[in-house]
A and B are shown apart, each in its own frame.
Chain A
Amino acid sequence: MRNWGGSVVHFNWRHTVYGYVQSCYTPLAQRCYSHGGKLESDEEFDARWVTYFNKADIDAWELRKGMNTLIGYDLVPEPKILEAALRACRRLDDLASAMRILEAVKDKSGPHKKIYPYLIQELRPTLDELGISTPEELGMD
C-alpha cells in the first residue's frame, strides 16, 4: 500500500508476550530513491535511529531535531527507538521532553488506539528504571 508521500507502507504483525497476534503498525519508511538506491529495510531504519539516540554525548539540539524529524515520518516509532530517545533525555536531564515524546507517539498513533498501550507495555521497564511517569499517570490527558 502506498501513501501519498510515495513511501511504501506495510503492516507488521507481531506477537506479544501473551501469544496473540498484535498488529503493530510500524510501516517501513522506505524512501523511493529515484537514483535507484537500495530501499532501507525496517531493521535498518530502526537501527539507524537507535544509534542516533544512543550517542553518548548527544546534545539537546540533536535530541530535538531527531525527535521532530522522527515524528514527521508517517509511522509510529518502534519501542527500541523510543527507549533510546528516553535514555537520551535522561542523559540531558530533561524529564519534560521524555514525557513529551510519550505524548507525541500517542498522538501519532491517531485512531489506532492499541498502539500506545503496546508501546507503554514495551517501555515499562525503561520507564520504571528512569522514573518517567506517563502523562496518564500524572493526569495530563
Chain B
Amino acid sequence: MLTSRALVRGLKSGFWRPLSSTSSVQAAHGKDMSPDVLDPSVPQYNNRLDTPLSDVPFVRNLNSEQRQLKEKEKGPWTKLTKEEKIALYRLTHELTYPEMRRGSSEWKTVLGGVFIFLGFSGMLVWWQRIFVFGEVPHTLSDEWVEKQTQRMIDMRINPIGGFAYHWDYVKKQWK
C-alpha cells in the first residue's frame, strides 16, 4: 500500500483517481492526521455504492468552524443554508453517488500507452530489417523463381490437384 501511494503521487493526478479514499485523496484532505486510517483493524471511511453510510465520517478532525456547523445541525434543518447543507454532506462523505459513478479517462492513457509501445516495437523491427538482416538468398530473386517455375512446369509437379494442374499446356498459360 505504501508503494502504491508513491506510485499514485508520481503519476498524473487526473487519471489515476482510485474509487476508494486511499493515498492521494487522504493526503489532500488531511483527514488522517493520526496514522490509524492506514490501520485496517479500525473502522475506515470508504466510498461504496452499496454502503451508503460509512463506518466513520470522512472528516474526523473538525476545526472550530466545522464544529459550529455541527452544532447548528442539531437545530432545525430548515434554518441551514444550501452551502451549509453541502458542507455538512462533504464533512461526512467524500464523494457523491454521481461522483463515484463517474468514469475516468484512464482508458485513453492506457490505449495510448499500448499504441506507443506497439509503435516503438514496430520501429525496432523496421530498423532491424534495414540494418541487421542481410540480403535474402539468391534463390528468391525474380530470375531464379522464373526459371524454377518453368522447371516445375516441365517436370509436371502435382499434375492432378496441384501446381501443374493449373498450367494449360496447350495454350501455354495459366488457367
| Chain A interface (Cβ < 8 Å from any Cβ of B) | 63-64, 67-68, 71-72, 90, 93-97, 99-101, 103-104, 106-107, 130-133, 135, 137-138, 140-141
Contact = CB atoms under 8 A, between A and B. Distances in A.
A78 B49 CA distance: 19
Given A135-B96, A138-B85, A141-B96, A95 B73 contact: yes
B51 A71 contact: yes
21 contacts: A63-B53, A67-B53, A68-B51, A68-B53, A71-B51, A71-B52, A95-B85, A96-B89, A96-B93, A99-B89, A100-B93, A101-B53, A104-B97, A107-B49, A130-B77, A131-B77, A131-B78, A131-B79, A131-B80, A132-B77, A137-B82
Contacts of A101: 52-53
Nearest to A65: B53
Nearest to A128: B78
B86 interface: yes
B98 interface: yes
Interface string B81-106: 01001101101110011100100000
Interface residues of B, number: 27
What DSSP secondary structure best describes chain A's contact surface? helix
B55 interface: yes
Closest 5 CB pairs of A and B: A131-B77, A131-B78, A96-B92, A104-B52, A64-B53
Contacts of B49: 104, 107
**Which of the listed residues B49, B52, B74 has the most CB atoms from chain A within 10 Å of its own CB?**
B52
B59 to A, nearest CB: 11
Contacts of A96: 57, 88-89, 91-93
Contacts of A93: 73-74
Contact of B98 (A72, A100, A131, A141): A141
Given A130-B77, A131-B78, A140-B96, A103 B86 contact: no
B76 interface: yes
B135 interface: no
